[in-house]
Amino acid sequence: MTIEYLKRSKSEATRKEDDSRTRAVVEATLADIEARGDDAVRALSEKFDNYSPDSFRLSETDIEHLLSRLSARELADIRFAQDQVTTFARAQRASMTDIEVETLPGVILGHKNIPVQSVGCYVPGGKFPMVASAHMSVATAAVAGVPRIVACTPPFHGEPNPAVIAAMHLGGAHEINVLGGIQAIGAMAIGTASMAPVHMLVGPGNAFVAEAKRQLFGRVGIDLFAGPTETMVIADDTVDAELCATDLLGQAEHGYNSPAVLLTNSRALATGTLAEIDRLLTILPTADTARKSWQDFGEVILCDTYDEMLAVADDIASEHVQVMTDRDDWFLDNMTCYGALFLGPRTNVANGDKVIGTNHTLPTRKAGRYTGGLWVGKFLKTHSYQRITTDAAAARIAAYGSRLCLLEGFVGHAEQCNIRMRRHGGENVPYGAAVPHREAAE
């Protein structure tokens, strides 16, 4: 296997140093929110967003006023995108069915899919107003039937962003708060006098938001670790350098620490893409952010074969993977570790981010090795139940249960089975003893 890096990102050691500093800041901030509640939240909002309204929660009047500032075209575009997301989410929900089966005569087993009862949806918006993130979290939670949906987004240029608030409201949020960063995540999870805590946190965010979710996991559920945006372009000589460079920078502009990787078996495409990136950075309005991201976190990896490209891609497990080759379906069939795939040159990650309908909250930092992205199923808990309807079934299961409990040394467990055998099987099992095996009965 011959793999050549024409450009490398920051070292893993440097990234770990950054993570360590972030972890310490988040830990101290969450402790402050735990101790001081609303006072800490307000102080943090003043410090980081210069924003301190009478109430962070918007009233119905506030929401109506903000929606009135949008044009009919803007509202129609928001509704169109939201419709695509909810249409796909409803199809996914329909694939999840409750079941009940009689596994033995008189033994009924089943499961039910029950919505999480309260969810906190974080919608980033301090640098760019992430309208689409509201569809992905709020609207998807609504499709799942979550009865309490709390939404938080930071102020944009010192005030609520009308488009983000519209997407939250139209998506079905019950409580909308103009609150960002660690303070929003902490308030939703820990709770304050003005905000009841939720059972689950969802949504993407910067490194501090992602770390806050990580530290709060266990106290509340989370969707996944959705940190800074990652993108990978897998391409061969069926596409050109301008297309690859455009798709890499399109995601690098998210933030200063957004990894962007070109994985190719064409040296000409690799070197051409490097040159095109340099050219595009001279005309891209968001070049200050994209340039820093590409400088520190961009990579160009040259492989000899498609099998090598597949192995490298699965090892990196990038959040967004755009595949533009002469064998896109081969990658679909064989890739196992990623957030979402974007197949062929006609589609792109921006489609998935904004409008096409699949969810854009996806696993980052190799989490695609063990989880997929946010979807309607993340808002549902699958709970099992059991029922025994006959004395014969109760006795049959009790006999096996009694012996298996004692095999492990659990006498109290065994007695739960034994008392059923005495009452429903008519056998006076000595206390703490195993139900004897009888071939005909079992």
Between vectors from CA 278 to CA 272 and to CA 281, what angle results, nearest 5°? 135
Please tell me the distance from the alpha carbon of residue 256 to that of residue 180, in angstroms, as a whole number: 19
Q: For residue 405, give the 3-state DSSP assignment.
A: helix
* CA dihedral of residues 275, 277, 280, 285 (deg, nearest 10): -150
206 is known to lie in a ligand binding site: yes
Identify the bridge partners of residue 299 per DSSP, sorted by sequence position: 261
Q: Is 174 exposed, middle or buried (0-12, 13-18, 19+ CB in 10 A)?
A: middle
* Residue 122 marked in a binding site: yes
320: annotated binding-site residue? Answer: yes
Sequence-ordered alpha helix ranges (H) in 135-220: 140-144, 162-171, 181-190, 207-216
End-to-end CA distance of the chain: 58
The question of whether 230 is a catalytic residue gets the answer no
Catalytic pick among 230, 253, 276, 319: 319
In this structure, are residues 176 and 168 in contact, taking their beta carbons and an 8 Å threshold? yes
Q: Of the listed 175, 253, 299, 320, which one is catalytic? A: 320
Buried b (16+ CB within 10 A) or exposed e, 38-66: eebbbebbeebbebeeeebbbeeebbeeb
Sign of the torsion angle spanned by Cα atoms 240, 355, 128, 343 = negative
Contact 310, 338 (CB under 8 A): no
Output the six-digit token pair for 123: 């919608």
CB 45 within 8 A of CB 179: yes
Please count the other Cβ atoms lying within 10 Å of the Cβ belonging to residue 306.
17
Whether 17 contacts 308, CB under 8 Å: no
320-324: strand order across its sheet: 3-7, 298-303, 260-264, 231-235, 320-324, 340-343
Binding site annotation covers 229?
yes
Is 437 annotated in some ligand binding site? Answer: no
Q: Is residue 383 flagged as an active site residue?
A: no
> Does 157 carry a binding-site annotation?
no
Sheet with 200-202, strands from edge to edge, namely 175-178, 149-153, 119-122, 200-202, 221-222
22 is an annotated ligand-binding site residue: no
Nearest Cα to Cα of residue 205 among 160, 154, 163: 154
**Which residues lie below 8 Å from residue 188, measured CB to CB, with a gap of 6+?**
120, 122, 150, 152, 195, 197, 198, 201
| Binding annotation for Zn(2+) | 251, 254, 353, 413
| Binding annotation for substrate | 229, 251, 254, 320, 353, 408, 413
| Binding annotation for NAD(+) | 122, 183, 206
| Binding annotation | 122, 183, 206, 229, 251, 254, 320, 353, 408, 413
Tell me the catalytic residues.
319-320
